[in-house]
Amino acid sequence: MLDNKYNELVKEIIPKNSKYAIRTYGCQMNEHDSEQVEFFLNNLGMEKVEDYNEANFIIINTCAIRGTAENKALGFLGSLKNLKRQNPNLKIIVSGCLPKVDGTFEDLIKKNRHIDILIGTSNYLSLPELIYRSYYEDKTIVDISDQYDLNSAELNYNRMYKHKSFVNIMYGCNNFCSYCIVPYTRGREYSREITDIVKEIEGLVQDGVKEVTLLGQNVNSYGKSLTNKTDFPSLLKEINKIEGLERIRFMTSHPKDFSDDLIKAYADLDKLSKQLHLPVQSGSNKVLKEMNRKYTREAYLEKINKVKALDMDISLSTDIIVGFPGETEEDFEDTLNLIKAVEYDSIFTFLYSPREGTPAAKREDQVPHEIKMERFNRLMDLTNEIAYKKNLKYKDTVVKVLVDEVSKNNPEYLSGRTDGFKTVNFAGDQDLIGKIVDVKIEKVGTFSLDGKLV
Ligand code: 5AD
Ligand code: SF4
């Protein structure tokens, strides 16, 4: 990859001291893809800047999961028309999920003639070639093929943090939940080899990484697409052996594939963080069926109860969609009751957003916006009440915190995460960033804990 022949060619044609700015919308996968794009651009001798007015290259890494995410990216793209008019040498690159939505890319180009390059989610390795072509071809350069050459053991990226990193273990999704655009934008499920993943993490650890977050749309079905079939717990077991690595997180899990073996892994593997994000989406069996989720609320609760039975203080979080087509007040109350039964530490709640091309978007029984909002607010109140109650148990206890950064709210404070993913703020010196320290919790909030170094 590093000897990509286009690298040298591009370096010769781009302006000297070229700068790029990158804006990322959406999930951790997108964030991690952007880290990869940054690596490629740095490798071309470009410098990253925060202010896009200073940049020769602007990359918009887009998300299509909900209308709001799509509109934000499109709004930003639209606002760049003027800049491009003033500076025709500016290169605008649109990447990620939006170009991959079926039938969208022609429309996207027609409405946004100022796009130079349109690149899909699995085509980042071709970026140098596309940049090169954009200097010679008088049209938008498009590469949105499903090329899947991302399995390379030598994936390179610029990490946001020195001490922690995302690691892709698989791409795509085969589940086709009836509301979701992801299987269309990220293609079919495809796992990387265990040996490649382990090699990548060993390299990261040598470079100072203490915590990895393994990424996949459905990590529980890891390994199914490999010739030598394996599974997610087996991968975790191998990663757990890596010396110097301290914490392993993963996301996202699908409840239907969440296995007893994985529950056992929490007990067996010392580096596996005590945190589980298990998106339930709804507590109503009728809605779950129409969402094509392939589990019932009873089956979900049974799995959660097995996790609780480990008695290991594992933090629980979930995703909920409110206002799925046909969702009645009774269905919504089933969701509230499920939340009460599980007592999540945190919940990501989304208003259902119809995505063209998905089965649920075609339904006529769409829930009115006001009802969605009313349910959203009730759900948030319940979530916050439970989160606060759950945090109370940490008062006056000592927790281990991997220090991430200077707190965004108070420059005299540092901020980090416990093994269970709780945010902790405390006063301390910046040289603690990247270290694991003991903090005594003095004050408890809904979203974070405050404490003192001990
Ligand atoms: N509308 C609202 N939320 C959605 N999600 C996925 N598709 C949609 C949609 N069309 C949510 C799901 C998923 C999370 C990443 O985004 O809850 O788990
Ligand atoms: Fe979308 Fe369902 Fe796949 Fe998750 S499992 S990415 S919600 S289709």
Same domain, 14 and 87: yes
Q: Is the CB of 319 under 6 A from ligand 1?
A: yes
384 falls within a domain? no
- Please calculate the CA angle 123-128-129 and round it to the nearest 5 degrees: 80
Query: What number of H helices and E strands is found in the chain?
Result: 14, 19
- Condensed to tens digits (0 to 9), the pLDDT of residues 232-279 reads 999 999 999 999 999 999 999 999 999 999 999 999 999 999 999 999
Ligand 1 centroid from CA 15, angstroms: 41
CA dist 451 and 443 (Å) reads 6
Q: Of ligand 2's atoms, which has the minimum distance to the CA of residue 180? A: 1
Same domain, 243 and 123: no
**Residue that finishes a domain, picked among 249, 273, 297:** 273
**For position 123, what pLDDT does the model report?**
80
Same domain, 116 and 185: no
88 falls within a domain? yes
Instruction: Report residue 1's pLDDT band, with 50, 70 and 90 as the boundaries.
Output: very low
- Condensed to tens digits (0 to 9), the pLDDT of residues 194-236 reads 999 999 999 999 999 999 999 999 999 999 989 888 999 999 9
- Calculate mean pLDDT across residues 431-453: 97
376 falls within a domain? no
Average model confidence (pLDDT) for the chain?
94
Ligand 1 centroid from CA 286, angstroms: 18
φ/ψ region of 96 (left if φ > 0, alpha if ψ in -120 to 50, else beta) reads: left
**For position 148, what pLDDT does the model report?**
58
Q: Is the dihedral of CA 375, 376, 378, 382 positive or negative?
A: positive
Q: Is the CB of 253 under 6 A from ligand 1?
A: no
List the single range of 146-160, 201-215, 307-321, 426-440 with lowest mean pLDDT.
146-160
- As given in the structure block, the two tokens for residue 422 are 């709780």
Whether 298 has a pLDDT exceeding 80, the answer reads: yes
Q: Of ligand 1's atoms, which has the minimum distance to the CA of residue 252? A: 18
Q: Is the CB of 97 under 6 A from ligand 2?
A: no
**For position 448, what pLDDT does the model report?**
96
| Contact partners, residue 230, CB within 8 Å, separation at least 6 | 194, 222, 223
Ligand 2 centroid from CA 179, angstroms: 9
Which amino acid type is present at position 211?
E
269 falls within a domain? yes
**For position 47, what pLDDT does the model report?**
97
Inter-CA distances, 135 with 119, 131, 211, Å: 16, 7, 41
The pTM of the full predicted model, rounded to 2 decimals, is 0.94
In the chain, % of residues over pLDDT 70: 97
Cis omega (within 30 of 0) for bond into 252: yes
Whether 151 has a pLDDT exceeding 70, the answer reads: no
**For position 371, what pLDDT does the model report?**
98
Q: Is the CB of 197 under 6 A from ligand 2?
A: no
Which residue among 27, 215, 321 has the greatest number of ligand 1 atoms within 8 angstroms of its CB, and so is best to mutate?
321
223 falls within a domain? yes
CATH code of the domain containing 259: 3.30.750.210
Pairwise pLDDT comparison (345 vs 190), residue with the higher score: 345
Ligand 2 centroid from CA 293, angstroms: 9
Same domain, 191 and 121: no
Ligand 2 centroid from CA 300, angstroms: 16
Q: Is the CB of 183 under 6 A from ligand 2?
A: yes
CA dist 170 and 217 (Å) reads 8
Q: Considering its fold, how many domains does the chain have in total?
A: 3
**For position 5, what pLDDT does the model report?**
85
Instruction: Report residue 35's pLDDT band, with 50, 70 and 90 as the boundaries.
Output: very high
In the chain, % of residues over pLDDT 90: 87
Same domain, 99 and 171: no
Q: Is the CB of 281 under 6 A from ligand 1?
A: yes
Q: Which ligand is nearest to the CA of 170?
A: 2
Whether 122 has a pLDDT exceeding 80, the answer reads: no
Same domain, 118 and 217: no
Same domain, 64 and 92: yes
**For position 225, what pLDDT does the model report?**
85
Same domain, 163 and 215: yes
CA dist 46 and 414 (Å) reads 31
Whether 396 has a pLDDT exceeding 90, the answer reads: yes
Cβ atoms 379, 349 nearer than 8 A: yes
**Residue that finishes a domain, picked among 143, 174, 201:** 143
**Which domain, by its residues, includes 443?**
398-453
**Residue that finishes a domain, picked among 143, 170, 194:** 143
CA dist 58 and 33 (Å) reads 15
Q: Is the CB of 176 under 6 A from ligand 2?
A: yes
Among residues 273, 164, 271, the alpha carbon closest in space to that of 211 is found at: 164
**For position 149, what pLDDT does the model report?**
56
Question: Which residue's CA is the closest to the ligand 1 atom numbered 2?
Answer: 352
Same domain, 39 and 170: no
Cβ atoms 115, 77 nearer than 8 A: yes
Question: Which residue's CA is the closest to the ligand 2 atom numbered 2?
Answer: 177
Same domain, 9 and 58: yes
Q: Virtual CA dihedral for 230, 231, 234, 235, nearest 10 degrees? A: 100
Which amino acid type is present at position 434?
G
Q: Is the CB of 277 under 6 A from ligand 1?
A: no
16 falls within a domain? yes
CA dist 433 and 373 (Å) reads 39
Q: Is the CB of 218 under 6 A from ligand 2?
A: yes
Same domain, 136 and 175: no
Q: Which ligand is nearest to the CA of 254?
A: 2
Same domain, 21 and 56: yes
385 falls within a domain? no
- Calculate mean pLDDT across residues 287-316: 98
CA dist 409 and 370 (Å) reads 33
- As given in the structure block, the two tokens for residue 201 are 């993490």
Ligand 1 centroid from CA 320, angstroms: 8
425 falls within a domain? yes
**For position 153, what pLDDT does the model report?**
47
